[in-house]
């Protein structure tokens, strides 16, 4: 007798076949013991996109800093310009997303420290307000 494993429609059977007479009926057909399937790994959840944290203003200095590393895409203000609290100062790209740095308080733009295309590090001073 020869034993074979046959898979039909995803279900595996152990089959025993006697040697010799080809017209002999199959002696036994039993489902194979199911193998313990390895658990599928849980899909990794993509972190939700977060808005860039509000820029920090150093106490008393009026310096607006970059909240994270990125590249300056555009500058929305010029030196000497009056800005309102929440007004966009510049737009930068970080982690393939665009983010804005806004004025934390009303004031006048004293100095713009970066140019379009500049690489920012976390904490880089981008604008000084007075």
Alpha-carbon span 129 to 111, nearest angstrom:
7
Q: What is the mean pLDDT of residues 78-92?
A: 93
Cβ-contact 78, 112 below 8 angstroms:
yes
What band does 16 get if pLDDT is binned at 50, 70 and 90? confident
Domains of the chain: 2-31 (no CATH), 63-129 (2.40.50.100)
Q: What is the pLDDT of residues 49-70, one digit of tens each?
A: 555 555 554 433 489 999 999 9
Alpha-carbon span 65 to 85, nearest angstrom:
15
- Helix, coil or strand: residue 59: coil
- Amino acid 118: pLDDT: 93
Q: What DSSP designation does 36 have?
A: -
Token code pair at residue 56:
């920090």
Alpha-carbon span 87 to 55, nearest angstrom:
12
């Amino acid at each position: 007798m020869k034993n074979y494993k046959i898979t039909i429609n995803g279900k595996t059977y152990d089959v025993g076949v006697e040697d010799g007479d080809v017209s002999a009926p199959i002696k036994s057909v039993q489902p194979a013991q199911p193998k313990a399937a390895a658990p599928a790994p849980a899909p990794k959840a993509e972190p939700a996109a977060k808005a860039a944290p509000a820029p920090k203003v150093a106490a008393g200095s009026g310096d607006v800093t970059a909240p994270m590393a990125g590249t300056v895409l555009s500058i929305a203000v010029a030196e000497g310009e009056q800005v309102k609290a929440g007004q966009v100062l510049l737009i930068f790209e970080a982690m393939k997303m665009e983010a804005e740095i806004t004025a934390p308080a009303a004031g006048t733009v004293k100095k713009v420290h970066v140019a379009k295309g500049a690489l920012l590090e976390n904490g880089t001073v981008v604008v000084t307000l007075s």
